[in-house]
């Protein structure tokens, strides 16, 4: 019931029966490692956003282990079995459905793809393909929507988090410019949905601090949403929903 989509493709712990572990032959930057606690983090962010707004965001979490399927890859390098294909297609079917509904009912919205990284253990990296996946947002509100005081990273920086790029810079870390999901569903694709990949440092995903990280992220998203998102449905969509 909010134009906010949370995605967590790499935190799953469940095996896929009869699916072999991916070997990744010929796949660039191949990895099967889990982004620990990112699914749990996304779920807690969603719960705290519901507390703030009295409405739920869209939440899509991969429960399957990344070693069987990588949902943040093109299909050709994401799986190596029919069973893996089914899980991959299910994940993206749900993402597409969420994007289509947000576009239909609010005309635009925000997709946050939640990941984990160990390069900067206390850092949160932003990935937008150097602005490409948030073209609609920047075109409407300017760079302040991505790096200003009411932006998600701006809010986090004000709370004392180390963010990259810093809000006074525009370039992004080459390794964390955003993967397949934001590049597929971002607003440069004329989806109307702006997409940001957030890479959360290891120390910020430890179980002892996970609730605090989720609360601070949810508060930052809430400030951003009130400033830059259409939190009320379009009148046509609202009318259609109320029809018997």
113: containing domain: 4-242
In total, how many domains does the chain have? 1
Q: Is the peptide bond before 165 cis (omega within 30 degrees of 0)?
A: yes
Q: Which two tokens stand for residue 102?
A: 């947000």
Which domain CATH number covers 78?
Answer: 3.40.630.40
- Please, what is the end-to-end C-alpha distance for the chain in angstroms? 19
Q: Write the DSSP symbol of residue 68.
A: T
What does the alpha-carbon distance between residue 83 and residue 147 come to, in Å, rounded to a whole number?
41
Each of the 244 residues of the chain gets a pLDDT tens digit; together they read 999 999 999 999 999 998 999 998 888 888 889 999 999 999 999 999 999 999 999 999 999 999 999 999 999 999 999 999 999 999 999 999 999 999 999 999 999 999 999 999 999 999 999 899 999 999 999 999 999 999 999 999 999 999 998 888 767 777 788 899 999 999 999 778 999 999 999 999 999 999 999 999 999 999 999 999 998 776 444 444 444 4
What is the pTM assigned to this prediction?
0.93
Residue spans of alpha helices (H) in the chain: 38-53, 82-106, 135-141, 144-147, 152-158, 180-185, 210-228, 235-242
- CA distances (Å), origin 122, targets 113, 161, 166, 239: 18, 8, 14, 46
């Amino acid at each position: 019931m909010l134009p906010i989509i949370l995605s967590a493709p790499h935190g799953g712990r469940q095996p896929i029966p009869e699916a072999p572990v991916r070997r990744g032959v010929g796949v660039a930057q191949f990895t099967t490692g889990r982004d620990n606690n990112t699914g749990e983090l996304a779920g807690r962010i969603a719960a705290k956003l519901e507390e703030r707004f009295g409405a739920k965001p869209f939440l899509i979490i991969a429960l399957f282990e990344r070693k069987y399927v990588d949902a943040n890859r093109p299909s050709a390098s994401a799986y190596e079995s029919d069973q893996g294909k089914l899980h991959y297609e299910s994940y993206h079917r749900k993402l597409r459905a969420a994007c289509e509904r947000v576009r239909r009912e609010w005309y635009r919205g925000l997709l946050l793809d939640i990941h984990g990284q160990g390069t900067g253990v206390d850092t949160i990296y932003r990935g937008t393909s150097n602005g490409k996946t948030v073209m609609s947002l920047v075109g409407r509100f300017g760079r302040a929507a991505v790096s200003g005081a009411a932006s998600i990273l701006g809010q986090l920086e004000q709370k004392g988090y180390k963010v990259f790029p810093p809000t006074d810079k525009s370039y992004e870390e080459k390794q964390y410019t955003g993967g397949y999901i934001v590049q597929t569903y971002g607003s440069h694709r004329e989806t109307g949905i702006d997409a940001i990949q957030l890479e959360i440092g290891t120390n910020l995903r430890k179980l002892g601090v996970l609730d605090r990280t989720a609360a601070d992220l949810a508060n930052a998203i809430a400030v951003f949403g009130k400033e830059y998102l259409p939190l009320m449905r379009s009148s046509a969509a609202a009318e259609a929903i109320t029809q018997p």
